[in-house]
C-alpha cells in the first residue's frame, strides 16, 4: 500500500472565481477524499510524493521507482486521478520509473488557483510541473482526456518530452460522439442516483459491471457527483498542428470505443509524421484497465526502439 500523500483536503470548495474547478461542498470533498484514500491504498508503494507550484495551481505527483532522468509520466482521464492507474502502475514499473500527476482542474489532490483559457495553458502547467520533478525529459502516457493533454503538450510544450503514448485519446483525432455527449451531460447532474452513474461508467467500459467495489469506479463516480469541472472545452487539434508534431508518438485507439469513431480517429492520427498508430479491436474506452499487460508490453517495445 502507498501513503495517500496530499489528499484532496486542500482542494477548493465552491463558491470560487469563474473558471476555477472545485468541489461542490466540503461534505462532497470529504466523500471524495475517502474514495481517493481507498484508491491510493490499492496502489504499489510510492517512493516519493511531491507537491509543486505552477502558474495555475499546485500539482501533486507520485513517483513509483527510483529517480530516473526519463521516466514515464501518467496523465489521467476526465474526473479521475492517480488511483485510476491501479491496473497499470505495477506493469509499467517493470519498464522503468513511473510518475503520476493529478491534473489541475480535475478532482484529485491537485488544487487549481487560476483559470485556464485554452490548450496552451493546459500544456503549460504540465510543462511547469515536469520542470520541478528533477528529470531531464519524460515519456507522457495519457488515457482519454489525458491523451488529449499529452497531444497538446506535444503541440505547445514539446521541449521536455522524450515521447508521448496516447491511449484512446478524447477529442484529439475525431469529434466526440453523441453517446459520449450523453455520458458527459449525465456526469454534471448533481442529483443523479449512484446506480445510474455506474451505468454510465459501464457504458464507457464496454458493458463491464461497475460499482463501488472497484476503487477507480468509486473514485470517478464521486468526482462526477461531488466536483464542479470548470475547464475550457477541449479543442480538437488542427490538421496543421498534428502534421507539425515532432515528438515520437504511439497512438492506440480502442476499436470498441464509444467516445469517437475509432476508424476515423486512427486515420487522422496517421497524419502525424512521428506517430505509430494501432487500432485494437474489441477494446473499450477503458482500455488501460482492460489490457494493462498488453499496454505495458507495447510501451516497452516502443520505448526501447527510440
Q: What is the pLDDT of residues 54-93, one digit of tens each?
A: 999 999 999 999 999 999 999 999 889 999 999 999 999 9
β partners of residue 228: 22
Per-residue burial over 211-250, b = 16 or more CB atoms within 10 Å of its CB, e = otherwise: eeebbbbbbbbbbbbbbbbbbeebebbeeebbeebebbbb
Angle at Cα 208 formed by Cα 40 and Cα 297, nearest 5°? 65
pLDDT in tens, 217-249: 888 888 888 899 999 999 999 999 999 999 999
Its CATH class, for the domain covering 8-304, is alpha beta
Distance CA 207, CA 28 (A): 28
pLDDT category, 181, cuts 50, 70, 90? low
Domains of the chain: which residue ranges?
Answer: 8-304
Rg (the chain; Cα; Å): 17
- The DSSP output letter for 46 is P
Instruction: Please tell me the pTM assigned to this model.
Output: 0.92
Amino acid at each position: 500500500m502507498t501513503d495517500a500523500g496530499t489528499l484532496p483536503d486542500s482542494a477548493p470548495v465552491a463558491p470560487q472565481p469563474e473558471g476555477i474547478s472545485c468541489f461542490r461542498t466540503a461534505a462532497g470533498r470529504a466523500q471524495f477524499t475517502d474514495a481517493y484514500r481507498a484508491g491510493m491504498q490499492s496502489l504499489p508503494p510510492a517512493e516519493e510524493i511531491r507537491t509543486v507550484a505552477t502558474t495555475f495551481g499546485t500539482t501533486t505527483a507520485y513517483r513509483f521507482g527510483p529517480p530516473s532522468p526519463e521516466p514515464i509520466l501518467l496523465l489521467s482521464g476526465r474526473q479521475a486521478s492517480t488511483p485510476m492507474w491501479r491496473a497499470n502502475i505495477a506493469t509499467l514499473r517493470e519498464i522503468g520509473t513511473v510518475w503520476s500527476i493529478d491534473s489541475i482542474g480535475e478532482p484529485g489532490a491537485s488544487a487549481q488557483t487560476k483559470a485556464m483559457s485554452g490548450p496552451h495553458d493546459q500544456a503549460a502547467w504540465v510543462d511547469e510541473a515536469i520542470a520541478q520533478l528533477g528529470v531531464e525529459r519524460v515519456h507522457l502516457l495519457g488515457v482519454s482526456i489525458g491523451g488529449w493533454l499529452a497531444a497538446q503538450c506535444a503541440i505547445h510544450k514539446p521541449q521536455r518530452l522524450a515521447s508521448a503514448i496516447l491511449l484512446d485519446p478524447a477529442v484529439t483525432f475525431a469529434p466526440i460522439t453523441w453517446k459520449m455527449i450523453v455520458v458527459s451531460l449525465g456526469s454534471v447532474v448533481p442529483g443523479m442516483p449512484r446506480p445510474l452513474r455506474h451505468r454510465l461508467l459501464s457504458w464507457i467500459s464496454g458493458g463491464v459491471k461497475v460499482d463501488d467495489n472497484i476503487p477507480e469506479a468509486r473514485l470517478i463516480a464521486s468526482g462526477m457527483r461531488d466536483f464542479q469541472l470548470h475547464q475550457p472545452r477541449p479543442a480538437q487539434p488542427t490538421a496543421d498542428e498534428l502534421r507539425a508534431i515532432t515528438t515520437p508518438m504511439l497512438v492506440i485507439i480502442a476499436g470498441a470505443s464509444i467516445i469517437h469513431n475509432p476508424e476515423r480517429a486512427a486515420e487522422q492520427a496517421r497524419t502525424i509524421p512521428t506517430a505509430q498508430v494501432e487500432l485494437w479491436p474489441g477494446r473499450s474506452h477503458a482500455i488501460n484497465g482492460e489490457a494493462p499487460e498488453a499496454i505495458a508490453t507495447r510501451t516497452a517495445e516502443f520505448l526501447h526502439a527510440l
